[in-house]
Amino acid sequence: MLKNWGPASVAAIVAVSGGLVEPSLAQQSLSPELEWAAEMAGLNSTYRLTPNITYLTASNVPLKLDVYEPLGSGRVTPTLVYTHGGGWGGGSKEGSSLTFLPYLRMRWSVVNVEYRFASTALAPAAVEDTLCALRWVYRNAKQYNFDTSRIVTSGESSGGHLALMNGMTPASAGLDRQCPGPEALKVAAIVNWYGPSDVVNLLDGPNMRTWAVGWLGSQANREETARRVSPITYVRPGLPPILTIHGDADPVVPYEQSVRLHQALTKAGVPNQLLTIPGGRHDAPKGFAPNELRTAFATIVQFLGSHGLEASIATAQR
């Protein structure tokens, strides 16, 4: 089923009770968060949403993605590949809509991805799934006008981790063997919202997190697998530009992990930036104030623009 989102509809894409709702903005008493969303989504054209496309079946589970496609351009568009958070064990792609809404305002295409949870398949399954989703984007670029030279991965929390893995994992890691193919899975930039970068650090000691332990389970090679799915393992020269956004009062994902990632990337000569939200907690947009979200998205636009990913429709023709 195809659905066209007009300006008011896209302005009102918000996560409510795990679904997408389209209230009439003129008749709503909006919270500050929704007022911010409406401001950010002042679009002048429509989008086509193609929901729940099966990009992979794994563990007998059909895995879905949604494609948000700007109408009327006739050109290839910069494309955001977004993965939701939830500790690799929960959440939904629909619940992340507000976080990527500004990319719709910028007239980008958006591919919103789900993946297997720990209750279905332990690590590294979620990483393998999202790499398959990235390959799906490459293979369907012509149909949806994705610009494969301008793919940006992003996500929040565990989705931020998966966005990092999508952009940082070398083919030699063997994590893309679930969906083999000739395409070199490269991205142009990564926007990481407080994703864990060192999974090993979350398994024991003062930073132990039950959700990370649950993702690794009781595998005999638990630490080896955790290292294999840790973005910090793959820091090296030549990576795409990486922007990390993290609140320094985050009680869920340790802020110091983002500091360490930033330091390691800088040492390796990788263009990167760490935007610290003073007092920011977890779970954007709820964990950040509206002015902090404006700062975060202004930083994203500036960061992407400084690396040739301007906030406008691509001009290259198919």
Q: What is the CATH number of the domain that holds 260?
A: 3.40.50.1820
Contact criterion met (CB below 8 Å) for 166 and 82: no
Where does the pLDDT of residue 12 fall: very low under 50, low under 70, confident under 90, or very high at 90 and above?
very low
Q: Range of 161's domain?
A: 48-306
Q: What is the mean pLDDT of residues 216-242?
A: 97
* pLDDT at residue 197 tops 70: yes
The reported pLDDT for the residue numbered 117 is 98
Domain assignment present for 176: yes
Where does the pLDDT of residue 317 fall: very low under 50, low under 70, confident under 90, or very high at 90 and above?
very low
Whole-number Å distance between alpha carbons of 287 and 244 = 16
Domain assignment present for 266: yes
* pLDDT at residue 315 tops 80: no
| Summary mean pLDDT of the chain | 86
Domain assignment present for 110: yes
Domain assignment present for 149: yes
Domain assignment present for 19: no
Amino acid 54 reads T
Number of separate domains in the chain: 1
Residue whose structure tokens are 């494309």:
79
* pLDDT at residue 247 tops 70: yes
Per residue, the 3-state secondary structure of the chain, as one string, reads CCEEECHHHHHCCEEECCEEECCCHHHCCCCHHHHHHHHHCCCCCCEEEEEEEEEEEECCEEEEEEEEEECCCCCCEEEEEEECCCCCCCCCCHHHHHHHHHHHHCCCEEEEECCCCCCCCCCCHHHHHHHHHHHHHHHCHHHHCEEEEEEEEEEECHHHHHHHHHHHCCHHHCCCCCCCCCCCCCCCEEEEECCCCCCHHHCCHHHCCHHHHHHHCCCCCHHHHHHHCCHHHHCCCCCCCEEEEEECCCCCCCHHHHHHHHHHHHHCCCCEEEEEECCCCCCCCCCCCHHHHHHHHHHHHHHHHHCCCCCCCCCCCC
* pLDDT at residue 28 tops 50: no
Whole-number Å distance between alpha carbons of 12 and 289 = 18
Structure tokens at 59: 């563990």
Q: Percentage of the chain surpassing pLDDT 70? A: 83
pLDDT (tens digit, 9 = 90+) per residue, 277-294? 999 999 876 778 888 888
* pLDDT at residue 305 tops 70: yes
Domain assignment present for 125: yes
pLDDT (tens digit, 9 = 90+) per residue, 116-135? 999 999 999 999 999 999 99
Domain assignment present for 30: no
Q: Please, is 213 exposed, middle or buried when counting C-beta atoms within 10 Å of its C-beta (0-12, 13-18, 19+)?
A: middle
pTM: 0.87
Domain assignment present for 260: yes
* Bridging pattern class, strands 14-16 and 19-21: antiparallel
Q: What is the mean pLDDT of residues 151-173?
A: 97
